[in-house]
Structure 1
Amino acid sequence: MISITEWQKIGVGTTSFGVFFILFGILLYFDSVLLAFGNLLFLTGLLFIIGLRKTFSFFFQRHKLKGTSFFLGGVVIVLLRWPLLGMVLETYGFLSLFKGFFPVIFGFLGNASNIPFLSTLFQRLQGTRSMV
């Protein structure tokens, strides 16, 4: 079993609140204050979960600098009260940063789900051609 420290538990809560505020800010027609608060909570929670050194080494790898610049630039633009443009830049940066994780996530969801339609959908998104 994986042991989770108290700091990681705080990080999961902080990240969850960050995602909540981001989604709530989008629902309220890109409210810049909620989006900025959600971004700060999300990044703070990420720091608590994986640590300062691992966070910096993840974001500042040479092949991820483009995604990092778009993501962090989007955060700065949201903080400067240009929420729509900032969220577009953040979304592109997020997809660029985490594109290697998507096949793993879809594979896990496809294997964990017993619902026939969702299992087939997740297997197709993962890239496997097996229909079993």
Structure 2
Amino acid sequence: MVSLSDLQRIGVGLVGFGLFFVLFGILLYFDSVLLAFGNILFLFGLIFIIGFRRTFTFFFQRTKMKGTSFFFGGVIIVLLRWPLLGMLLEAYGFINLFRSFFPVAFGFLGTLTNIPLLSKLLQKLGDSSSVV
């Protein structure tokens, strides 16, 4: 079991509520207030989980500047009440930021599942470590 500090537990809760509000905002036809609130909670939760300095260095690496600019640009566009365009920009930025993490996550999910076809598919996605 992973031990978390009190601030990290608060961060996990903030990230969970942030994802809930983002999904709820999408379900309610891209409600800009819920999406903006979810984005802010998600970002503050991330800061609480890994710390301000690590969050800053993750987002502002030279190789991840394109993804960071699209992600934060999408957050600003959502805050300016253009939710559909903002969420599209955020999704593109999120994919660019976490592109190297997806094969690891799929490989991990492939080892967890006992469904034969699904585990083989997820392990195959996890093995493709080519970063485009």
- Structure 2 residue aligned with 1:112: 112
Residues 68 and 93 in structure 2, CA contact (< 8 A), matched pair in contact too: yes
Aligned residues: 128
TM-score (norm 2): 0.94
Distance 1:2 1:45 in 2: 18
Structure 2, unmatched stretches of 5+, are: none
Paired residue type of 1:33: V
Deviations 1:35-68 (A, max 9, x none): 0000000000000000000000000000000000
- Structure 1 residue aligned with 2:36: 36
Deviations 1:3-24 (A, max 9, x none): 2100000000000000000000
**1:45 maps to 2:45:** yes
- Structure 2 residue aligned with 1:7: 7
Deviations 1:81-124 (A, max 9, x none): 00000000000000000001000000000011111122022122
Structure 1 segments of 4+ aligned residues over 4 angstroms from their partners: none
Paired residue type of 2:14: T
Paired residue type of 1:15: V
Structure 1, unmatched stretches of 5+, are: none
Matches within 5 A, 1:82-101: 82-101=82-101
Residue 30 of structure 1 and its aligned partner are, at CA, apart by 0.3
Residue 2 of structure 1 and its aligned partner are, at CA, apart by 3.3
TM-score (norm 1): 0.94
- Structure 2 residue aligned with 1:25: 25
Residues 32 and 79 in structure 2, CA contact (< 8 A), matched pair in contact too: yes
Distance 1:34 1:117 in 2: 37
Distance 2:13 2:2 in 1: 18
**1:123 maps to 2:105:** no
Distance 2:53 2:104 in 1: 24
Paired residue type of 1:61: Q
Q: CA RMSD in A?
A: 1.0
Distance 1:21 1:2 in 2: 26
